[in-house]
Structure 1
Amino acid sequence: MKNNTDYDRNLKNTRRNFCKNTALVTGGLLLPTTSINAMYNIFDNKKLKLAVVGCGGRGTGAAIQALNADDNIELVAMADAFRDRLDGSLSNILKEMGETKKVNVPEANRFVGFEGAKKAIDLADVVILATPPGFRPQHFEYAVNAGKHIFMEKPVATDVPGVRRVLAAAKKAKENKLNVVVGLQRHYQDSYLAAMEQLKQNKIGKIVSGQVYWNSGGVWVRERQPNQTELEYQMRNWYYFNWLCGDHILEQHIHNIDVANWFIGEYPVSAQGMGGREVRTGKDHGEIFDHHFVEFTYPSGAVVAGQCRHQPDTMNRVAEFFQGTNGTVSTSGDEVSMKDWSGNNLFEHRGKDDPNPYQVEHIKLFESIRNGGVLADAENGAKSTMSAILGRMATYSGKVIKWDEAMQSDLKLAPDELSWDSPAPVQPNADGFYTIPTPGKTLVM
């Protein structure tokens, strides 16, 4: 999840000033593979129509970044469950973009409610999927079937059936040469790309262990309002309900787990861990934990410890550390450090002037669309989502959870069909509290 500081900083990165500093990213590391037959539209500068599905802060930020990423794009449709969110998003987009012909969303193209996503997707060439992640599998599947290019935020599901659904749609998207970028922005960040290049050169040898962190004080809470239905309350306070969010080990810590998968070149075969609620114990924190600690074991034998926490006034850390046979690497934001086991520097990257990776994601997406390339992030997005779900299964159950067994799970958290008359998928007890996962008792598969 991008915090407000990141969001404000991202908005300042227009395509013009971004392009002054993109040598590393646009120099070949992420260019799409393009066959001669696929290059029919390299010089096609047709106007691309954009739709945004999910009009919260992330959808708003992604829309602005998309509009700044290409010279001939127009925002034509928006969809959200709530009208106030849509109106606020459109107002912020117009405020940020200023006088522009790039924003043209008439009243008829402002869709509110559960069916609005499909209507918005139908009107666009490119779609941004930024609702709470519980809705992501169905929206992604629909967009792929409709032949759209896609930017979708992470995580891409909150349960295993959703992961399988995304994997199937990802395969179809690739076959149909649709571009899909997932908001795991480290893959588009100069510092992490530089670290990956050094790892490919065997700078620290084979990675055998690691520690990855997303420790912070937590995020927003939206209080229950008078006359609010249970379903509306949960959707507005979506971070604290697993059918919508999947817990913060999935919604935030996925970034660090994804880096481990990427650097090691594998996905975990098993996970075990522990977690619970020590600080955030109120009714307004729904059903999720406030801390998780997980050991992920990889096919190569590497073991990575993942740690995430939402507890105020404790140590904050968002970073990754890995140990190889010949040395170590640490990554955090725009800084990379590699050392041998004697403490000698092997490599450093201090990228305070690096291009903004949140903007890079969109520039690369539109470049690939224009050039007839295929960016295919969805499979990795689904598997890193599954890695984080594996960790949640481990902390909620207190058991060793194996990837192959977990992938067979039919435990579905997010319903396929909802209306405003539907009951919320989870219900509070008579005192207003929700059932909290209990290790040793909670069924996770």
Structure 2
Amino acid sequence: MTRNDFIKTAALAGAAGLAMPKFSFGAAKGSDRIKIAIVGCGGRGTDALRNMISADKNIEIVAAADLYSERIAACAESVKKFAKGAGLNPDEIWKVSPDTSFTGLDAIDKALQTDADVVALVTPPVFRTSHIEKALNANKHVFAEKPICIDCVQLRKIYDELIPLADKKGLNVLCGTQMRYQTAIREAVDRVRDGQIGDITSVVCLRYEPTYLTGWYEVPDSLEPEDVRYQLLRWLAFTWTSGDQFVEQYIHNLDLALWAIGKLPVEVVGSGGRQTDIPYPKFGDRQSNTHAHFEFDGGISLTAACRQENGTSPFSPLKVYGTKGVLDMTFGRQTITGEKPWKSEMPKKQALVCEHEALFGALRSGGHLNTMKQCADSCFVAIAGREASYAGKRVKTAWFREKSRLSLLPENLSLDAKKPVAPIPNPTNYKLV
């Protein structure tokens, strides 16, 4: 595979929709203020707005949506403080009014009716695919935090419907796999494409963390684990809300491994489990360790594993082994050892800022950016790894893309409903569907 084959630009947009936003594929305004609607005002959503301000001072937040009004208030306070520290007028950045502040599960529908140019989607991942669909149908450009899908039904929706829809309408979609925008990593992948480590033989990609993440919000004593409100507050701890750590957190690492390899695996086998002293169902139903071994055409193998277990040692190497050298892609400085050694400079700018520079640059120049295919590929592999781990099976990855009926988003979801907590998955109780 040549470098040009691997690094592809987004497909050119087709005919645009009739009711396009001001910043459209063919009519960008270089000096106009870009209007943002934020959907999901928790910690990551608030951080995303700060990253956007760092990337482009000429933006304004005009609408905010969340399940809870206090989250919106906390987000406003944080963003205004950040804007002031950046030498900006906070009231010129945060322009959300009571009329453009929305709460509840349907808050996104109201936010999309505002005059926002871009909608930032930063809710629990189970909603991401449906929210992207709504945003595109409302003719909004999109920032979608990773992952953009967490089950196979959502995966096919992204591949078969939403990627072509964004291209047809000329809408920009940036997905939050931000490490692809770090200059050192981009240069490292270029060097792999140029043959600096020879032919890739195997990749080892680990993300071992010393804490089992359950979320950052206190859950009222009045709520029980079976309550939907409880599970959405502790969304990191439940598979149906987060996709489990292999899809939600580890996708950053897996995305880089797949970028280096340059193709998708054909087979996966997995294993996993849960630390026995993590209370169930209080802290959800997901695994605390997940391991998957992927095989690729041509003999390349990928050993992929993540762990969030209390009292353990952190360790997150990402190494690409070739016939002439080894690339260490661990976050930070990139190095190659072997016949052609190389060491990158330390990154000078946060990748979280660089990704938004790419989005706003496309908007202002009239370009077209759609990274859903790349992110969906990584979600696809992560979903396959998680499912193989839960079931303890060896499976052709095409089965997940083409045949699996797995769907995690409940129909007619209500905040006041009960949802039984699933058993912790293992090969005796988990079946592939």
TM-score (norm 1): 0.86
The root-mean-square deviation of aligned C-alpha atoms, in Å, is 2.2
Counterpart of 1:388?
382
Cα deviations by residue, 1:80-132 (Å, 9 ceiling, x for unpaired)? 11222222111111111123312100011111000001211232110110001
Tell whether 2:142 aligns with 1:150. yes
8 Å CA contact 1:399–1:440 kept in 2: the answer is no
Count of residue pairs brought into register by the alignment:
405
For 1:288 and 1:114, the matched residues in 2 are separated by 24
Match of 2:418 among 405, 414, 423: 423
* Matched position secondary structure for 2:63: strand
Q: Shift of the alpha carbon at 1:298?
A: 1.7
Decide which moves more: 63-72 or 150-159. Answer: 63-72
Tell whether 2:296 aligns with 1:298. yes
Using a 3 Å threshold, how does the CA distance of structure 1 residues 172 and 32 change in structure 2: closer, same or farther? Answer: closer
Q: Which amino acid aligns with 1:388?
A: A
Q: Shift of the alpha carbon at 1:286?
A: 0.8
Match of 2:261 among 257, 261, 264: 264
* Matched position secondary structure for 2:240: coil
Q: Which amino acid aligns with 1:289?
A: Q
Q: Shift of the alpha carbon at 1:236?
A: 0.2
For 1:381 and 1:58, the matched residues in 2 are separated by 18
Decide which moves more: 55-64 or 80-89. Answer: 80-89
Match of 2:93 among 97, 102, 106: 102
8 Å CA contact 2:272–2:287 kept in 1: the answer is yes
8 Å CA contact 1:53–1:130 kept in 2: the answer is yes
For 1:30 and 1:270, the matched residues in 2 are separated by 25
Counterpart of 2:157?
165
Q: Specify every segment of 5 or more residues in structure 2 that has no aligned partner in the other structure, as ranges.
A: 1-6, 16-23
Q: Shift of the alpha carbon at 1:321?
A: 0.4
For 1:120 and 1:202, the matched residues in 2 are separated by 48
Tell whether 2:365 aligns with 1:371. yes
Q: Shift of the alpha carbon at 1:316?
A: 0.9
Counterpart of 1:332?
330
Counterpart of 1:138?
130
Q: Shift of the alpha carbon at 1:263?
A: 0.8
For 1:105 and 1:317, the matched residues in 2 are separated by 42
Counterpart of 1:214?
207
Percent of residue pairs bearing the same amino acid type: 31
For 2:58 and 2:8, the matched residues in 1 are separated by 22
Counterpart of 1:255?
252
8 Å CA contact 1:179–1:374 kept in 2: the answer is yes
Match of 1:174 among 163, 167, 182: 167
Cα deviations by residue, 1:189-212 (Å, 9 ceiling, x for unpaired)? 112101011012110112120100
8 Å CA contact 2:267–2:396 kept in 1: the answer is yes
Using a 3 Å threshold, how does the CA distance of structure 1 residues 97 and 279 change in structure 2: closer, same or farther? Answer: farther
Tell whether 2:105 aligns with 1:114. yes
8 Å CA contact 1:273–1:391 kept in 2: the answer is yes
Using a 3 Å threshold, how does the CA distance of structure 1 residues 79 and 389 change in structure 2: closer, same or farther? Answer: same
For 1:421 and 1:285, the matched residues in 2 are separated by 19
8 Å CA contact 1:138–1:416 kept in 2: the answer is no
Counterpart of 1:83?
69
Tell whether 2:378 aligns with 1:359. no
Q: Shift of the alpha carbon at 1:156?
A: 0.9
For 2:167 and 2:26, the matched residues in 1 are separated by 18
Q: Which amino acid aligns with 1:363?
A: E
Tell whether 2:222 aligns with 1:227. yes
Cα deviations by residue, 1:297-331 (Å, 9 ceiling, x for unpaired)? 12332111011111123221223101112211111
For 2:409 and 2:120, the matched residues in 1 are separated by 20
For 2:9 and 2:58, the matched residues in 1 are separated by 20
Cα deviations by residue, 1:270-290 (Å, 9 ceiling, x for unpaired)? 211211012453122210111
For 1:354 and 1:279, the matched residues in 2 are separated by 42
TM-score (norm 2): 0.88
Counterpart of 1:189?
182
Using a 3 Å threshold, how does the CA distance of structure 1 residues 30 and 171 change in structure 2: closer, same or farther? Answer: closer
Decide which moves more: 354-363 or 174-183. Answer: 174-183
Counterpart of 1:26?
none
For 1:336 and 1:217, the matched residues in 2 are separated by 24
For 1:257 and 1:32, the matched residues in 2 are separated by 21
Tell whether 2:310 aligns with 1:317. no
For 1:212 and 1:89, the matched residues in 2 are separated by 34
Using a 3 Å threshold, how does the CA distance of structure 1 residues 397 and 315 change in structure 2: closer, same or farther? Answer: same
* Matched position secondary structure for 1:363: helix
Alignment of 1:343-354 (within 5 A): 346-351=341-346, 353-354=347-348
Counterpart of 1:203?
196
8 Å CA contact 2:25–2:368 kept in 1: the answer is no
For 2:330 and 2:78, the matched residues in 1 are separated by 30
8 Å CA contact 2:209–2:312 kept in 1: the answer is yes
Q: Specify every segment of 5 or more residues in structure 1 that has no aligned partner in the other structure, as ranges.
A: 1-28, 429-433
For 2:25 and 2:374, the matched residues in 1 are separated by 25
For 2:12 and 2:273, the matched residues in 1 are separated by 48
* Matched position secondary structure for 1:274: strand
Q: Shift of the alpha carbon at 1:177?
A: 1.5
For 1:49 and 1:338, the matched residues in 2 are separated by 42
For 1:138 and 1:301, the matched residues in 2 are separated by 37
Cα deviations by residue, 1:3-38 (Å, 9 ceiling, x for unpaired)? xxxxxxxxxxxxxxxxxxxxxxxxxx9998989x99
Decide which moves more: 306-315 or 246-255. Answer: 306-315
